[in-house]
Structure formats: C-alpha cells, structure tokens
Chain A
Amino acid sequence: MSTLETNLIQPSTGTTLTVGASGDTIDIPSGATLDATGATITGALANSPSFSAYRSGGNQTLANNTDVVLQFNTELYDVGSCYDTSTYRFTPNVAGKYFINSIIKLNGGGNSVLYDLYIYKNTTVVRTTRDETTPADPFSMQVSAIVEANGSSDYFTIQFYQASSSVQLSSSTNSAFEAFKLIGV
C-alpha cells in the first residue's frame, strides 16, 4: 500500500475534489480531528438524504380504531428528494441507517382513551409511543428511532391510532416528521 505525504490536496480543475469511490472505505483514524468548517460536504460524509416536513393547510381529521397515516404535507427541506408530500412516505435512496423523529401536536384531548404514535417501516410498526393519560387540549406526542433502509424499496411513515376519540393533527410546524442519514453507522 502506497502512502502520499502531503499537507494540501486540491482539485486540479473545477471546484470538486472527490475522495474514493463507491465501495471504498475512507478511514479517518480515531483521534484525528476533522475540520470541515465552511466546506461543502457531499456524498457519504453528509447526513443526507435528509428532510423535514410538517402539517399545514388545516388540521387532519383522524379516524378511530385504526392506524392512520399522518399527512405532513409541507417540506422545510428535502435533501435527496426522498420525501413525498402526496404519499407522506420517506423512501431514502441510499442504503444505511437513519435517525427518524416525529413530534405531533394534537387538538382535542380530554378523553381517557389510548393514543399511539407509530413509526412504520413499510407495513410494519417498528416503534411506538403511547399516551393513556386523559391529556389536556392540545397535547403533544413524540417518537424516535434509528432504522435501517435498503436504499430502494424501504419506506417510512408516521401513523396514529386513537380509540373512541376525535383528536386532530394540528396544522402547525409543531406537527413534524424528519429524518437524516447517519454517517458511517
């Protein structure tokens, strides 16, 4: 294995310097300091695909006794264009592990029933947060997970279940669905 000893590497033309190729491992030894201040990082060293979306344009009515896909219909950003504001699915196009978070504001409350907030991977629940507290109006719920995606067909939605209640998803940036890729995990 050859070693290049230098202090500065720059692109010979243009403004993009590519390090490695798909399938390679770029190792920055533990203990080294990585200073990327002011630089633009793309590819495997970026926390992307990533997105954040929220509910706007009116509250979403939520049916009882069934899992309902929450309709986060407005994007704050979407790096990689992997979130669909019509299907409300996040379908990352790069394989890897992703941190997913959702926080929702619910209008209604005052009922002593069960509320569940889910992260779905494809058609299966992978994470649940429960509230069975007779919450006040309004109230919030939050759920997080790190999930594995195959980078092609896997998709994620946020879904909600309520028994015998009539809470609605609030039209607000307080009702959000967001995710980003973890680097090197």
Chain B
Amino acid sequence: MIWYEIAYVAGVTHALNAVADGLRLPLDFSPSSRLPVLPLIEPGDAPPEVKATFDEIMTFYAMDRAPAVFRWMARDAGFFHNYWAATREAFTDRKLPRLMKEILALAASLTAKSDYGVDFHLREVRRLGLSERGLMEAIEVVQCFNTVTKIADALQLQPDFDPRPGSR
C-alpha cells in the first residue's frame, strides 16, 4: 500500500505543479511577480458550493485564502470538487503520515524545478513540524538521487534487479 501512497502523492503533486507553473499562477507564500495567463476565481465571487470547498481547503492547509491552483481549478466546479477530494485523500494520513507525504511532495517539486510546488510544500513541511535539520537532510537526499538518476540515464544503466516484492 505504501507504494501506492507514494505514487498518488507524486502524481497529484506533479500535476498541480505543472498547471500552476504552466499558467504562471502567483506563489501562495512568497512574494511573486507572476501574472496568471488565465483568470482565477476570487473567493467572493464563488458560488456557495465552491466557497464551501474553498473553506475546506483553507482548513486543510491552515490558510486564510485558497491556494491559487485551486482558485484556477474552481472555474469548473465539478472537476474541482472531485480533484480536490482526490488531493485530500492522497495527502491524508494512512500508512504514511501527512508530514512524510509533504516531504515527498517537496522532493517531487524540487526535482521538477517547480517554483509553485517548492514554495507550497516548503511551507507545508515546516507547518507540519519538520525541523530545519530534517529539511536539510531531505534536500540532501533529493540532491544525491538527482545525481545518480542522471548518471544512470546518461549511461543508460539497466536495473540491477526486479523491484517487485519477492524478486531479486
């Protein structure tokens, strides 16, 4: 189950980052001069059912404003409600606790060079209690594994073994 949880976090994070950076959405926690190339919904203009979901998202992330990526997404209420619900479930405590999932999302964002994702998940890991020492360690691992994955790709190394359980 743990591998599914990692995969869901990686997939949702990568998708949200792709949309947020692609649309040049402003960062949620750092000063940003980015201007969105498509309009976002202002919370005051949102219909009641969208506003209720914004409230849930703000509670989940302890924010006083819904993240920009969800304000974009809310332009299609049906998609927004379901994608947010999937996002919430991907980041909910299961085998992996929420903090660990946010650390993985930060690793995914750093690796994909996502300004939006790094800003968002850096704030989340700190808010959820990761120490500065833990943060440094996580970033060192990201750096080391970006090193070896690129070396492996450059040399087109084939896997040493089948990673499935029970295989060598």
A and B from one complex: no
Residues of A within 8 A of B (CB): none
Question: Which chain B residues have a beta carbon within 8 Å of chain A's beta carbons?
Answer: none
